Structure 1
Amino acid sequence: MRDLIKEAIADLKKNEGFIYVTSEGKKIDLHEAAARGIAVTPVNPKDNVIKKLESAGLYLTDGRFMNDLNELVSLINGSSSGKSGKRRTFTDAEKSKILEEWKKVEAAGKKTKAAFAREIGVGYQTFINWLRG
């Protein structure tokens, strides 16, 4: 299990943002595809990682599962409360990278703002506030 988690972390770190694939499923650089007039589909590398983790029984996109897992970890660590109350904060650089990715996804017309916000783990209103900048 530990190896699977380390592999998932490595996979996510080596892919900075979306990858683009042709209709045949081959990876291609977005600029190259545009220059050659090839239609591409943006693919979030997180999707493959999520599938691998779920096949091993780790449902990290399931809120109830994550609540149970967090409660278990806090109980093991001696915390009396199941919730830590801490929120994820993003640096300005992380926000900029996310907004750049949104521009690519928006240009492709594949997702709504709400779906994109859910996918990256940010509240919809928070994402809207970032867009308003």
Structure 2
Amino acid sequence: MFMNQRLAHVTLLVRDYDEAIAFYTNVLGFSLTSDLDLGEGKRWVVVAPPGPAGCGLLLAEATTEEEIRSVGRQGAGRVWLFLHTDDFWRDYPVLQARGLRFLETPRREAYGHVAVFEDLYGNKWDLLEPLG
């Protein structure tokens, strides 16, 4: 017997809640789905890409020395976040115009159209339109 499960959030360490919200909403076009004050400087902040409900990013402001050192390095220099789109060639120029830093020119792989970009902290992402 299997339960009905889904991945709801992935925690992303950030320097500052408000600068992260601004980047993910203004540059990537995500929606702010939650911003609750938990007291003592902590907040429950979730951003999510447009489209059907799915996994969101739980933004966690780094407070300890270890967390601060890990901001932008959670993927250890590898692409570890994947933003799927239904139209790569629609979204790529829009994101470029908003100032998103792409690390390569777009390419076609066996799995789809893709280009690697960095968020404001240096985390590497794939913008990906899967094939088929």
The verdict on a shared fold, with TM-score over 0.5 as the criterion, is no
Greater RCO, CA 8 A, separation 6+: 2
TM-score of the pair, normalised by structure 1: 0.27
How high is the TM-score relative to the length of structure 2?
0.27
Select the structure of larger CA radius of gyration. 1
